[in-house]
Amino acid sequence: MSKVAPIDQRKSDHIKINLEQDVRSALTSGLENYRFVHQALPELDLEAVDTSLTLFGKKLAAPILISSMTGGTPEAGEINRRLAAAAQTVGAAMGVGSQRAALEHPEQAATFAVARQAAPDLLLFANLGAVQLNYGYGPDECRRAVDMIAADALILHLNPLQEAVQAGGDTNFAGLAKKIEAICKALETPVIVKEVGWGISEETAKRLAECGVAAIDVAGAGGTSWSQVEMYRAPDEFTRQLAASFVGWGIPTAESLLHVRRAAPGLTLFASGGLKDGLDIAKCLALGATLGGMAGPFLKAAAVSAEKAVESLELTRRQIQVAMFAAGAARLPDLPGRLVQVGK
C-alpha cells in the first residue's frame, strides 16, 4: 500500500507544484466565448466608475476574491500574510486554504491566523473540506476554523475528483448534503460552498440552495486542475495514470455560472476557475456573479513580495473599471446584459 504524505507535506507539495509545473486543465473557462459590446460614447467619467460593493456586512473596493489557496507551513503562512495585507490595501476579499491541518495540529494555526493579524478589516473566509463532515467533523470544528482567523464566513469546499485520484483520499461523499444543511443551521456565520476547479452543476446547485448556503463559488474548469496537481504528487505509476486521465474533466466556469443561476436565481454567486484578469472577472459579473476569484496570479505575485501582490490586485481592479467604462456600466449592477456570445 502506498504511503500517504502528512497534511503539512501535502500543503508544501501543492505550493511547489502550482508554482513550478503546468497544472492547467485541458478545458478553457468558456469566457472566451463572450465579449462586451463596446460603447464608443459611454457618457461616463472613468474615475467615477464605481467598482465597490458590500458583502456580508463589509465594504469592498472591488469585486475581487483571492481564492482559497494555502496555509499549514511556514512558507504558506508568509504567503497568507502578504496576500491578506495586499487585499486590505486594495479592498478585496480573501479565502485561506483548508484549515484541517491546523485543527489537527494546532501549532500550525498561526499560518492561517496571520491573515487576520495582517488585515483587521479584510472580508476573510475560513475553509474546510466538506467531506470531513463524514469523517468526524461537525459544528464545533467549523466554529474553530472560523474563530481561528476571525473569519466573516466559512467556505466548505467540494473536491470529490481530487480525493478520488490521490493515494488515501477521503472518498465517502454519501449523505453529505444533510450534513452541510446542519452546518448552515448551526453556524452563526454564513456558509459558502465551492468546488475546487471542476464546476457546480444545476443539480448540485439546487441541492446546495435547499441546504441553505449563503453563496456558491462555482470554481469551474479552465484553470488549475487539481487532478494534474495530484498527478505530480502520485507515489506510483498507477496513481499517476489515474490522475492524468482527468485533465479534461469538469464544467467550464462560464457554463457553470449559467447552470447555477438557473437553479438558484436569488443566491449569491462567486466565479472562479481559469479567470486570467479583471476583464474575465467583469465578464463573470455580467453573467451573474458577485465576486470573481483568482488564485494562481496572486500566488505567484505574493511569492515575490507583498508589493507585487498589491500591484497585481491594483491592476486587476483597474481592468474591471476600464471594462465597465468601455461597456457603459457606471456601477457593478449595470454589467448584466452587456455581453454578447460569440464563437458558437
Residue pointed to by grid coordinates 454589467: 335
Task: Cell numbers for 34, please give them.
Answer: 463572450
Mean pLDDT on 243-262: 97
Average pLDDT, the chain: 93
Residue 310 reports pLDDT greater than 90? yes
The CATH code that applies to domain 7-34+51-324 is 3.20.20.70
What is the average per-residue pLDDT within 88-103? 95
- pLDDT at 2 exceeding the cut of 70: no
How much is the average pLDDT of 50-56? 98
- Residue 4's pLDDT is 42
**pLDDT, tens only, 148-157:** 999 999 999 9
Chain centroid to CA 49: how far?
26
pLDDT digits (tens, 9 = 90+) for 140-177: 999 999 999 999 999 999 999 999 999 899 999 999 99
Q: What's the pLDDT tens digit per position in 18-46?
A: 666 778 899 999 999 999 999 999 999 99
Give Cα separations from 219 to 120, 193, 199, 284 (angstroms). 27, 10, 5, 12
Evaluate whether 163 touches 131 at the Cβ level (below 8 Å): yes
CA dist., res. 305 & res. 246, Å (int): 34
Q: At what angle do helices 74-90 and 306-327 cross, to 10 degrees?
A: 40
pLDDT digits (tens, 9 = 90+) for 231-242: 998 999 999 999
Least Cα distance to 140 among 173, 175, 183, 100 occurs for 183
Model pLDDT, residue 17: 66
What is the rounded distance in angstroms from the CA atom of residue 70 to the CA atom of residue 243?
Answer: 21
Please give the residue that has the higher pLDDT: either 92 or 73. 92
215: three-class secondary structure by DSSP: strand
- pTM for the whole thing? 0.93
Domain layout of the chain by residue ranges = 7-34+51-324
Mean pLDDT of the 89-107 span: 95
Is pLDDT of 296 > 90? no
Return the pLDDT at 343: 67
**pLDDT at position 18:** 65
